[in-house]
């Protein structure tokens, strides 16, 4: 009961001052991660628990299913097919380059991880979380193509990175186990990915189709209509796990499919993400500080911090620079896109998933480095989002109206938008 009391008090306290923090450098992820650090094992020791506990496992799985499904639904794939060039560059070129660079740095800076462990860490850290720098994707003074490209990238890269995390996790177990298990693990990874995609695609497609038609007949109540997509995500996850597929990949694929066949009902997923999803996010950041990072503070050394900084200020910018070659973007735009690749919920949840998997000896090390990277990102990107958005908006106003930055692009929803002041009104 003490844990519940502390969590409730933290949530209520923030709610009472949230209006005063709007438009400032203080963001909700910073508040709750700091609250978790102070109250948790590494601080006052009032908020307790372990990463391996059943409650933490359930929370991790539920949060990851919710993140992957809602991220997939909020991206309008129909519009994206017409406006794919810059997001496709960031996803199709930037992500592989980011994983390659992250692997190289991990191999050199973090001895003991090995090549496979370094690649696994890089894959865990390649997804971005636009919600950590909400001002960047919500400030309407910024060119819409720039902010929405970051938003779309954040919405899709966690699901795209997931197969890499699954495969590399299998390889990590194989390299630490018997050599003759390699074929078995390769088959297991292929089965997980294939069945995850098939089950998720089928559940999402059929679910969206059924909801659209049954709702048109007037059979669905308003409350149930809003909850239906979330239950669909759970069904996709559980269905895939039942047949030995990857439930998380199924949730992401179901979200993509539901966004197409249940297009008219996407707004209910957005409403859930903006209300219940925000509460879920605040809880996750609090437990991240209390249970994930707090107990590991004594294990942090200069190599961990060095890799975290390199991941944020070298790996991501270089990956974006490679992805935007030939796109005719201004250097200031490339730097802006390169900096605003915050690491957030997806990286934390992927790292927890790796750490909980038996047979991966480097799992705890991956969790430590990923956790420190996310913690630095929460503060660095939270503090710089509003001022750098204002500065770049001023610079962008001087660009020629025909510049690539000023091309039109559809507005997509933001993941779990924390309270902020909408600029440029």
Tell me what the mean pLDDT of segment 321-343 comes to.
95
Confidence of residue 130 (pLDDT cuts 50, 70, 90): confident
Is 288 within 8 Å of 351 (Cβ atoms)?
Answer: no
CATH placement of domain 27-406 = 1.20.1530.20
Predicted local confidence at residue 52, as pLDDT:
73
pLDDT at 281: 84
- Which two structure tokens, joined as six digits, stand for 413? 């929803």
Which pLDDT belongs to residue 417? 53
Residue 158 and residue 89: Cα distance in Å, rounded?
16
* Angle at CA of residue 309, ends 381 and 43, nearest 5°: 75
- Share the mean pLDDT of the chain: 88
Number of H helices, E strands in the chain: 19, 0
276-287 vs 345-356: helix crossing angle, rounded to 10: 60
Look at the pTM and tell me if it is higher than 0.85: yes
Q: Which residues contact 271 (CB under 8 A, 6 or more apart)?
A: 226
Banded pLDDT at 379 (limits 50, 70, 90): very high
Contacts 24+ apart (CB under 8 A), 205-209: 205/257, 205/258, 205/260, 205/261, 206/261, 207/232, 207/235, 207/254, 207/258, 207/261, 207/262, 208/257, 208/258, 208/259, 208/260, 208/261, 208/262, 208/263, 208/265, 209/261, 209/262
pLDDT at 404 over 80: yes
Angle formed by the axes of helices 302-310 and 363-396, to 10°?
A: 40
The whole-number pLDDT of residue 424 equals 43
**Ranges of each domain in the chain:** 27-406
pLDDT for residue 421 is more than 50? no
How far apart are the C-alpha atoms of 344 and 346, rounded to whole Å? Answer: 6
DSSP per-residue codes, 124-158: HH----GGGGHHHHH-TTS-HHHHHHHHHHHHHHH
Q: What's the pLDDT score for residue 182? A: 61
Q: Classify residue 395 as exposed, middle or buried by CB count within 10 Å of its CB (0-12, 13-18, 19+).
A: middle
Q: Is the pLDDT reported for residue 313 higher than 80?
A: yes
pLDDT, tens digit (0-9, with 9 covering 90-100), for 146-162: 998 998 999 899 999 99
């Amino acid at each position: 009961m003490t844990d519940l009391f502390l969590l409730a008090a933290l949530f209520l306290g923030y709610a009472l001052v949230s209006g005063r923090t709007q438009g400032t450098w203080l963001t909700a992820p910073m508040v709750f991660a700091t609250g978790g650090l102070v109250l948790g094992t590494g601080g006052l020791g009032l908020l307790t628990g372990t990463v391996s506990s059943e409650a933490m496992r359930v929370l991790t799985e539920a949060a990851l299913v919710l993140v992957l499904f809602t991220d997939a639904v909020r991206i309008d794939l129909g519009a994206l097919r017409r406006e794919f060039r810059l997001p496709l560059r960031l996803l199709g070129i930037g992500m592989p380059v980011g994983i390659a660079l992250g692997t190289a740095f991990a191999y050199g800076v973090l001895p003991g991880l090995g090549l496979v462990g370094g690649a696994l860490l890089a894959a865990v850290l390649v997804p971005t979380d636009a919600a950590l720098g909400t001002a960047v994707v919500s400030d309407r003074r910024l060119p819409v193509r720039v902010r929405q490209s970051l938003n779309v990238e954040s919405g899709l890269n966690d699901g795209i990175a997931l197969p890499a995390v699954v495969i590399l996790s299998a390889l990590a177990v194989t390299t630490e186990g018997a050599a003759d298990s390699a074929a078995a693990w390769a088959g297991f990874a292929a089965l997980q990915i294939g069945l995850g995609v098939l089950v998720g695609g089928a559940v999402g497609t059929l679910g969206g189709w059924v909801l659209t038609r049954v709702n048109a007949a007037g059979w669905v109540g308003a409350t149930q209509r809003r909850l239906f997509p979330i239950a669909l995500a759970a069904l996709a996850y559980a269905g895939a796990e039942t047949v030995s597929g990857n439930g998380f990949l199924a949730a992401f694929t179901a979200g993509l499919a539901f966004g197409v066949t249940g297009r008219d009902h996407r707004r209910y997923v957005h409403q859930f993400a903006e209300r219940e999803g925000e509460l879920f996010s605040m809880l996750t950041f609090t437990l991240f500080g209390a249970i994930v990072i707090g107990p590991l503070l004594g294990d942090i050394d200069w190599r961990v911090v060095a890799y975290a900084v390199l991941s944020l200020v070298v790996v991501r910018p270089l990956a974006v620079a490679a992805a935007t070659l030939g796109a005719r973007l201004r250097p200031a735009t490339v730097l802006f896109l390169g900096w605003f690749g915050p690491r957030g919920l997806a990286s934390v949840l992927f790292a927890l998933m790796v750490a909980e998997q038996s047979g991966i000896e480097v799992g705890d090390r991956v969790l430590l480095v990923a956790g420190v990277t996310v913690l630095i990102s929460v503060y660095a990107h939270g503090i710089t989002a509003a001022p750098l958005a204002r500065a770049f908006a001023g610079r962008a106003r001087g660009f020629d109206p025909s510049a690539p930055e000023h091309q039109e692009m559809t507005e997509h929803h933001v993941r779990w938008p924390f309270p902020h002041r909408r600029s440029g009104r």
